[in-house]
Amino acid sequence: MRWLEAPLVPLAGATALGIATSAWIATPAWSLLCAGALALGLTSLALALGATRLATAGLLLLAVLLGVVRAISDPLPADHIARVAFGPRVSVEGRLAEEPVRWSADRTRLLIDLDGLRDGLDLRTVSGRIQVTLYGETPPVGEGQRVALDLKLSPPRAFKNPGAFDYPAFLRREGILLVGSGRADSLVALTADDPPWPVWVKRWAVSTTAGHLPATSAALLGGLLLGEKTGLPPEASEAFRRAGVYHILAVSGFNVALLASSVFFVLSTLGVPRRVTAVVAGAALVGFALVVGGQASVLRATVMGLLLLGALLLDRESQLMNALALAVLLLLAWRPGDLGEPGFQLSFAATAGIIHLAPPLTAWLIGKRWPGWLATPMAVSLGAQAAVTPVMLVHFNQLSLIGIVANLVVVPMAAVGTTLGMLALLTAAVSAWAADVLFQALWPLLLALRAAVWVAARVPGAMVHLPAPSWAAIAAWCVALALLPYLGSRRWIQATVMVSLALVLGLSIWPWVAPDNGRLRVTFLDVGQGDAILVELPEGQRLLVDGGPGGNQRLDVGERVLAPFLWNRPTQRLDVVALTHPDSDHSGGLRAVLTRFGVREFWENGRWITGTEETLRAVERSGACRRTLVAGQRLWLGSALLTVLNPDGSRPLDDPPPEGQNEESLVLRLDWRGFSLLLTGDLGGPGEERLLADHAPVRALALKVGHHGSRYSSTGAFLDAVEPAVAIISVGARNSFGHPTPEVLGRLEAAGARIYRTDRDGAVILETDGITLSITRWASGTVERLDLDPERGA
């Protein structure tokens, strides 16, 4: 059997399968253990009877069961912070589990292993890890330091939207069940900053680089050498992603191989025996892994590197795929939750792709008369790209087309840069002058690397965004890739590969060509405190009203929620983006939308305020046709009629609005067959009064409640005129404004409206064919149906 070449691969696969399925297996551990014992018994019996195939199957089943058992989390200890009752504000003590991440001058993220909770004057012992965001200037603290601080603690909350990233699940895998926020001036260091040596080395390396190179180049070198990416400006990271070379900024097998081969090169020139060299190289790898930290890619590369060195030491032949499988087993045994991490999946998929596909691809390319120096890198690039494509699509909806070519240029430059960088850092420990000369020699290379990435990222179509593939498509793709190297040997293999590829193609094209169902769909996305509403017409037109909160200094809803949601639709362009008014909880996320999607028209109220510069520039650059709307305008979008009800144009745009920006909100009314919807932005009482005085056509079936349910909106008189059957409140959970207010909820109930809230219901989806209206609460998955036909109504 071929399995003898890499006997650990099926075992690793089975264990991973067990961990992946554990979420759906609700049986208690003891029953799993019984099943395991049974499987063990049957396997032994099969082995005794000489049925090796059956015994193999039994063994794999055993591995699956072990994976499931490993992934079931242990019950929390009784003093875990998640099991301890506490008030809304707590005072805690604990040790910093990692270096603080400074997002901006006044926003810092800390990871704290708690040990004490202050309860009045007593200090209770607690345990558990929390993630904390501090606002304000955080005093200099570092890993390992004990601190005390005052916090608001709460369970993490996800935005519940179709196809959204499950943030709480991600934190749970990291062992974080509660997140906190607080003011930086409440932080008190209880011990001196005395970091363990790896942290000290890392700090020294970062500050040395920054001392010799200009900021952006220093940040790039930090990424190349140490995987330290926080210093890199956002536009540079974006360029690396578009060019498909972001992986060089993470520490991976690339760095480990360079480090090991540098050690080998130096020591063998000095005539040191091979075995001693292998031991020294191994020590260097372990030290390096300690310094750069415990990301999956580092651990994977270190484990594999050590295995290969061990093979060298024992004069055994090494089998790469087997080493990779052992690395999977070790990592999953240690941290089973990593299986779901993009970093883990990307690292292992890329390595497996290279090991499995690069040799046959190289042979094939050389057969096509490619020169050897080009064929090998090309095959490596193709193999890695083919293997990581499903992972990238599932997590990021990204496929970098330029990546295959860009890697050929960028990877060799990065290799030289990394080697020179390591040399420069080592020199800096001895002589600052000599190190400076090396750093200056490195600078043009770093600039050239950035220039290559910049050019690659600018190529039109460098990156395409596709919907996440279905499980069937991923499975078919994996089958095709696994069988690809044996294509020439058997007929049935050729047939299977062809069928799988056809399946992948068909499943990928289907969402684009699927016929529409003749329905109008309105999605009120859960974007926290803010608005973002997508209207989709059966003819294919799409209108996005507002973009939720966003911007540089905080979570950008446009990037995190709107873009993935639209890509998974799948959507590449929006016919209209409308901004009701420029407040940041409506305009912040639009910058990301306008830069990532083709937008035909941009509707606005013509007023921009300080703080929306980035959004305004994105509008100007998007090439969208801009319209400033005033009441009375009627616009057709496909078969839907949109009527503008506000602003009425009586207040010049250059003057500050006398009643505040909210009263200048665009108010849009949408009519389609028997369905009508009123979108009021943040309109408050004065604006509502004006609409009523003007006899604007406000009566509507569905109402987006004004200003997130603020008590100064949705007055009784206005609701009497609208008579909404359905009211949707777009509001963030635990927002600091107290929205929606009980007054408004009471008024809506009195008006007889069914109330839907994005903070509790997640995304709210209205779907109608003009006769019935179905309303989906995404968080609970419940669907309600309303009859729109007045003849049948009762």
Contact positions vs other proteins (CB under 8 A):
105, 137, 139, 185, 214-217, 233, 235-236, 239, 420, 436-444, 447, 450-451, 454, 607-614, 616-617, 654-661, 684-686, 689, 712, 715
Q: How many CB atoms lie within 10 A of CB 207?
A: 10
Q: How far is the CB of 559 from other proteins (least distance, A)?
A: 16
Of the pair 596, 607, the CB lying nearest other proteins is at 607
**Which DSSP letter does residue 120 get?**
T
- Shortest approach of other proteins to residue 204 CB, angstroms? 19
Phi, psi of 461 (to 5 degrees): 75, 20
Cβ closest to other proteins, residue 420 vs residue 670: 420
User: Min. distance of Cβ 265 from other proteins in angstroms?
Assistant: 10
Instruction: Tell me if 442 sits within 8 A of 218, measured CB to CB.
Output: no
Residue (211 or 233) nearer to other proteins, CB:
233
Q: How far apart are CA 516 and CA 494, in angstroms?
A: 36
Q: CA nearest 679: which of 693, 665, 669, 689?
A: 669
Q: How far apart are CB 236 and other proteins at their closest, in Å? A: 6
Q: Which is nearer to other proteins, 239 or 422 (CB)?
A: 239
Of 204 and 608, nearer to other proteins (C-beta) is 608
Nearer to other proteins, 129 or 607 (CB): 607
Nearer to other proteins, 317 or 655 (CB): 655
Neighbours of 736 (CB within 10 A): 7
Q: Which residues contact 347 (CB under 8 A, 6 or more apart)?
A: 252, 296, 297, 300, 301
Nearest residue (CB) to other proteins, 103 versus 364: 103
Pinpoint the alpha helices (H) of 523-658. Answer: 557, 563-567, 584-587, 590-596, 613-622
Min separation Cβ 723 and other proteins, Å: 20
Q: What is the DSSP string of 259-278?
A: HHHHHHHHHHHTT--HHHHH
Q: Please give the single-letter amino acid code of residue 280.
A: V
**Beta carbon nearer to other proteins, 675 or 718:** 718
**Of 444 and 506, CB closest to other proteins:** 444
Q: How far is the CB of 706 from other proteins (least distance, A)?
A: 12
* CB nearer to other proteins: pick between 165 and 443: 443
Output the smallest distance, CB 628 to other proteins, in A: 16
CB of 553 to other proteins, least distance (A): 13
* Cα angle value 760/761/763 (rounded, 5°): 125
DSSP-H helix ranges across 24-117: 29-48, 52-71
List, in sequence order, every residue forming a beta bridge with 535; answer none if it has no partner. 522, 543
- Bridge-based pairing of strands 702-704 and 726-729 is parallel
Least Å from the CB of residue 65 to other proteins: 52
Cβ neighbour number for residue 93 with a 10 Å cutoff: 19
For 488-500, give the secondary structure using H, E and C.
CCCHHHHHHHHHH
Q: Which residues lie across from 124 on neighbouring strands?
A: 117
Contact (CB, 8 A) for 292 and 251? yes
Pairing outcome for strands 667-672 and 782-787: unpaired
Residues 439, 433: Cα–Cα separation, whole Å: 10
658 touches 651 (CB < 8 A): yes
The pair of three-digit structure tokens given for residue 708, joined into one six-digit string = 């997130």
> In whole angstroms, how close is the CB of 244 to other proteins at the nearest point?
17
Work out how close the CB of 235 gets to other proteins at its nearest, in angstroms, rounded to a whole number. 5
Task: Quote the least distance from Cβ 722 to other proteins, whole Å.
Answer: 17
Strands 542-545, 573-578: pairing kind: parallel
Nearer to other proteins, 518 or 658 (CB): 658
351 CB-near residues (< 8 Å, 6+ apart): 253, 300, 304, 324
